[in-house]
Amino acid sequence: MNLNGFFEFFQKGKTFRPRKGFKAGTIRYSLHKQAQASLQSGVNLRQVVKLPEGESLGDWQAVHVVDFFNRINLIHGTVAENCTDVTCPTMSGGPRYEYLWADGDTFKKPTSLPAPRYIELLMDWIESQINNDSVFPVSTDVPFPKTFFPLCKKIMTRLFRVFVHVYIHHFDRIVSIGAEAHVNTCYKHFYYFAKEFDLISAKELEPLNELTVKLCKDKE
């Protein structure tokens, strides 16, 4: 998957929140470029996600969490016009799954929200986490806190819910703009990374099991 082409495709005629990146010359910038080059070379996605020899697991996960945040944010942006409080009054994945929002601050208890509001709050929350140096350090001089890996699991789990909503409720829109292959490849990359590092529970992955079997030849 050519990531430059991915971002160009999804940003055509759209305005999204700025992409998060990595400062040139840093280890994470190098890892980001290495991961990008591997994707563009057509290497098997199961292999692409594996931790490069000698590299920090924290840095590797930080790079991917930011990249997935950027990509999933763009993917949802393409269906935003069709994802409204009226069309999507709950953040759901079909009749069996509904996701409630809680952030321990404004929403102290799990609360049912329209999908666009849930996703807006989710993206704002993730952005605040990756911009907080104390929980998501940007410098290799600052050690990763004990909360970093649980935070990555929480971010990945919540990002997966956006895939669930888009695939189940808005995939016709994705197909109509010719983005199916882009979204499927992004999902496969995301899924293989989550599986490689045990970042999402089997229960959370259930809503897309059928799709996962089809795309990834894998099953929970």
Q: Is the pLDDT of residue 26 over 90?
A: no
Measured in degrees and rounded to the nearest 5, phi and psi for residue 80 equal -55, -35
What six digits make up the tokens of 69?
Answer: 């945040």
Using CA atoms, how far residue 91 sits from 77, 126, 155, 210, in Å, is 15, 17, 16, 20
What six digits make up the tokens of 20?
Answer: 């998060």
Q: Is the pLDDT of residue 114 over 90?
A: yes
Q: Is the pLDDT of residue 40 over 70?
A: no
Q: How many CB atoms lie within 10 A of CB 11?
A: 14
Which percentage of the chain shows pLDDT scores above 90? 53
| DSSP characters over 79-130 | HGGG--TTT-SS-BSSTT-B--B--SSS--S-B---HHHHHHHHHHHHHHHH
Mean pLDDT across the chain? 83
Q: Is the pLDDT of residue 38 over 50?
A: no
pLDDT for the residue numbered 72 = 93
Q: Could you tell me the pLDDT band of residue 13, with boundaries at 50, 70 and 90?
A: very low
pLDDT for the residue numbered 133 = 84
pLDDT for the residue numbered 36 = 54
Nearest to 62 by CA among 101, 84, 30: 30
Q: CA torsion, points 82, 210, 71, 108, in degrees to nearest 10?
A: 70
Q: Quick one: average pLDDT of 8-13? A: 50
Rounded CA gap, 53 and 50, in Å? 9
pLDDT for the residue numbered 143 = 85
Predicted confidence (pLDDT) per residue in 63-97, tens digit: 899 889 988 998 999 899 999 999 999 999 999 99
Which range, of 9-13, 120-124, 139-143, averages the lowest pLDDT?
9-13
Gyration radius from the chain CA atoms: 17
Predicted confidence (pLDDT) per residue in 170-220, tens digit: 999 999 988 898 899 899 999 999 999 999 999 999 999 999 999 887 544
Mention the CATH class of domain 3-216: mainly alpha
Q: Could you tell me the pLDDT band of residue 32, with boundaries at 50, 70 and 90?
A: very low
Q: Is the pLDDT of residue 3 over 50?
A: no
Q: Counting every residue, how long is the chain? A: 220
Q: At what angle do helices 57-79 and 180-196 cross, to 10 degrees?
A: 150
Amino acid letter, residue 143:
P
Domain residue ranges of the chain, discontinuous segments joined by +: 3-216
Looking at residue 208, the DSSP 8-state letter turns out to be: G
Measured in degrees and rounded to the nearest 5, phi and psi for residue 128 equal -65, -35
